[in-house]
């Protein structure tokens, strides 16, 4: 039986429309600042830019490496309201999210003068071959460091656009969609580790990698794609508060959407 598309909160449509308008003016507006906290470092906030890779299962075509369904029988897109980012499962941010999933992101859509701030929880979807974070060391209270394995909690059902959604297909689809240069970056040594400690030279590493193992030329490249795919992870963001400031209107406006029960969203206008 074909699943039925979930109804999406109004902020999702708003964000998708604004994104289309902004991208027409400036493709760089696809990035936002994502803040995490490092539980192993006295709740220190950490922030960095990441690229919005759409909502879960937001796709334009079949034959993109995913067997997941695109639309329901009524022609509605089978997407969820969860935002997707791609990253390296060995990175510090992946460790921070394994320790503490609470995040906030801030997104300035300069072409239309809108700010989105989204609060929620973010979960890492790693490869099956990479069930724990083993990249960075954790500081201990005695001032030394230790290697601590952390598993990645991932509430599959809660994040899925429909029952039976195949998450590995979604991960592979996103890998295939990346530029050849970005795919190659997942074959590098652990992000954030010292170059001096590495026994490989960055210039000796492949600068591009093909979409998948089937497209690889030769055994060596096949192994490189396998390794890159192993390190490649999704970050899936489950929002519970969305704050939209519109500085493009006169007077400026501010709308806040909140979801306290994991299901129903409430919309309110507030003073900017
Ligand atoms: C515009 C821009 C977009 C970026 N997009 C991503 C991204 O989508 N995923 C990612 O892991 N890092 C991305 N980066 C790099 C991160 O900002 C960061 O430097 C790196 O991931 C290490 O972060 P961490 O130490 O917090 O793990 C981007 C950087 C810039 C400047």
**What is the full DSSP assignment across 74-113?**
TS-B---S-EEEEEETTSHHHHHHHH--EEEEEEEETTTT
Could you tell me the distance, in angstroms and rounded to a whole number, from the CA of residue 93 to the centre of ligand 1?
Answer: 9
Which of these ranges, 61-75, 158-172, 226-240, 258-272, has the smallest mean pLDDT? 61-75
Q: Is the pLDDT of residue 140 over 80?
A: no
In the structure, what pLDDT confidence band is assigned to residue 147 with cuts at 50, 70 and 90?
A: low
Q: What residue's CA is closest to ligand 1, atom 26?
A: 93
The confidence band for 139, taking pLDDT boundaries of 50, 70 and 90, is low
Our answer on whether the CB atom of 179 is closer than 6 Å to any ligand 1 atom is no
pLDDT at residue 144 in the model: 63
114 touches ligand 1 (CB under 6 Å): no
| pLDDT given at position 138 | 58
Q: Check the CA dihedral 65-154-126-185 and report its sign.
A: positive
Element holding 20 (H helix, E strand): helix 10-25
Please write the tens of the pLDDT for every residue from 19-52.
Answer: 999 999 999 999 999 999 988 888 999 999 999 9
Q: Which atom of ligand 1 is nearest to the CA of 53?
A: 8
The predicted structure's pLDDT at residue 131: 77
Instruction: Decide whether any atom of ligand 1 lies within 6 Å of the 50 Cβ.
Output: yes
Burial group, residue 36, by CB count within 10 angstroms (0-12, 13-18, 19+): buried
Who wins on pLDDT, 55 or 129?
55
**pLDDT higher than 90, residue 141:** no
For residue 65, what pLDDT band results from cuts at 50, 70 and 90? Answer: confident
pLDDT tens, 80-99? 999 999 999 999 999 999 99
Q: Which residues contact 103 (CB under 8 A, 6 or more apart)?
A: 34, 35, 36, 97, 119, 120, 121, 122, 237
| pLDDT recorded at residue 74 | 94
Choose the residue to mutate in 37, 49, 97 for probing ligand 1, maximizing ligand atoms within 8 Å of C-beta: 49
Is-contact 157 163, C-beta < 8 A?
A: yes
Q: Determine if the pTM surpasses 0.85.
A: yes
State percent of the chain over pLDDT 70: 95
* Average model confidence (pLDDT) across the chain: 93
């Amino acid at each position: 039986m074909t699943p039925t598309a979930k109804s999406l909160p109004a902020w999702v449509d708003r964000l998708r429309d604004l994104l289309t308008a902004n991208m027409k003016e400036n493709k760089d507006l696809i990035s936002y600042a994502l803040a995490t906290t490092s539980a192993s470092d006295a709740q220190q906030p950490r922030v960095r830019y990441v690229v919005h890779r759409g909502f879960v299962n937001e796709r334009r075509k079949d034959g993109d490496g995913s067997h997941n369904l695109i639309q329901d029988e009524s022609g509605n897109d089978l997407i969820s309201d969860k935002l997707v980012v791609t990253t390296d499962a060995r990175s510090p941010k992946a460790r921070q999210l394994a320790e503490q999933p609470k995040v906030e992101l801030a997104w300035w859509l300069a072409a239309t003068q809108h700010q989105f701030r989204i609060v929620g929880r973010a979960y890492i979807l790693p490869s099956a071959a990479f069930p724990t974070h083993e990249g960075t060391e954790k500081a201990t209270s005695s001032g030394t460091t230790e290697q601590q394995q952390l598993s990645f909690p991932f509430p599959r059902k809660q994040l899925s656009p429909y029952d039976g959604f195949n998450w590995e297909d979604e991960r592979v689809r996103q890998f295939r969609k990346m530029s050849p240069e970005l795919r190659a970056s997942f074959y590098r040594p652990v992000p954030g580790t010292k170059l001096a400690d590495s026994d490989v030279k960055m210039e000796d590493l492949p600068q591009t990698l093909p979409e998948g193992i089937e497209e690889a030329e030769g055994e060596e490249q096949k192994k490189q794609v396998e390794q890159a795919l192993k390190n490649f992870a999704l970050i899936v963001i489950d929002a519970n508060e969305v704050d939209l400031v519109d500085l493009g209107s006169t007077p400026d406006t501010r709308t806040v959407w909140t979801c306290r029960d994991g299901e129903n969203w409430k919309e309110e206008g507030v003073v900017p």
